[in-house]
Each structure stands twice: as structure tokens, then as C-alpha cells.
Structure 1
Amino acid sequence: MTSVQNHIALGNLVRIERKRQKLTQEQLAALAGVGVRFLRELEKGKDSCRIGLAFSVMQTLGLSVDVSGRGDEK
């Protein structure tokens, strides 16, 4: 499991997984139903990305999110 604690780490994770799956940004954007510009901004860690679209991209890549609070056991 990879820990993602900010928008930059999330963007890096998306980019790494996209490349691992041998998808171009254009291909992933089309599959996820988002614009290429949005995907580029997400991968660069732009902090104003829309979370709903980010979840669409992650779901398309088969990534899931596990949220834990401070003090939660890991």
C-alpha cells in the first residue's frame, strides 16, 4: 500500500500507474472521461484539481483510496 498525504504525491502516483499500464495521458483521459488538461494538472500536483475527477482517474487505473485519521492503527 502506498501512502499519499498530499496533492503532489497523488499526482505522482497517478503518473506512475498510468505509465506502468502503458497509457498515454490522452488515452487515460478518454477512458476516465476527463480532459487531457485536467489529467496533466493532476499529475503535476496542482492543488486546485477537482476531487471527483481525480477519483474518476484513479478508479479507471484500478487505484483505491483508504482514509485513516491521526491515531488510527495501520
Structure 2
Amino acid sequence: MKKNSRNSIGFFLKQKRKATGLTQEEFAIRSGLGLRFVRELEQGKQTVRLDKVNQALAMFGYEAAPVKIARDELEVEDDK
């Protein structure tokens, strides 16, 4: 998945945060996450900290779950 994709969790969280009128700093404080993590997540930086991603999603009543992706969306390392 490309950085800043409209399908990304970071894009989703940014839209939800803005819809509730929270700044990144306010969101970080309320969610108990670091401001740097919130910024990087919204910018599409890949992370292995699924616990923190779920902590952010929980602010809006969501959690990360496996979703099957279309074959044409898969990135194959050999094609790069």
C-alpha cells in the first residue's frame, strides 16, 4: 500500500481526528500516544506497533482487523 493512501489507517485516523476537531497534540494526549507516533501514523509511515495503532483506532470505536486485498493491489518485491 502506498504512503498516504486513502485506504490507509493513517488517512482514516486523520479524517476522524479532523472531523472531531482535535489537533494532533490533543489526539495524542487523549489517546495516550506520543505526538511523534500520531504524526508518523498520519503520514503513512509503516509501523510494527499494532498495539499503538489499535490504541489510536480505539478512540473512535475501531480496531485493526485482517482484510483481504485484491490481487492487483499486492506489491511484489521482484517487480520493483
Task: Please classify the TM superposition score into its range, dividing by the shorter chain length.
Answer: 0.7 to 0.9
* Partners of 1:6 and 1:50 in 2: CA distance: 18
Contact 1:12 1:43 in 2 (8 A): yes
2:62 corresponds to which residue?
63
Contact 2:24 2:38 in 1 (8 A): yes
- State the secondary structure of the residue aligned to 2:10: helix
- State the secondary structure of the residue aligned to 1:61: coil
State the aligned residue count: 67
Q: Which moved more, 1:50-59 or 1:60-69?
A: 60-69
Shift of 1:69: 4.6
Q: CA RMSD in A?
A: 2.3
Normalised by the length of structure 1, the TM-score is: 0.73
Give the number of the structure whose alpha-carbon radius of gyration is greater.
Answer: 2
* Partners of 2:64 and 2:44 in 1: CA distance: 17
2:11 corresponds to which residue?
12
Shift of 1:63: 2.7
Larger relative contact order (Cα-Cα within 8 Å, sequence gap ≥ 6): 1
Unaligned runs of 5+ in 1: none
Unaligned runs of 5+ in 2: 70-80
Percent sequence identity is 30
Normalised by the length of structure 2, the TM-score is: 0.68
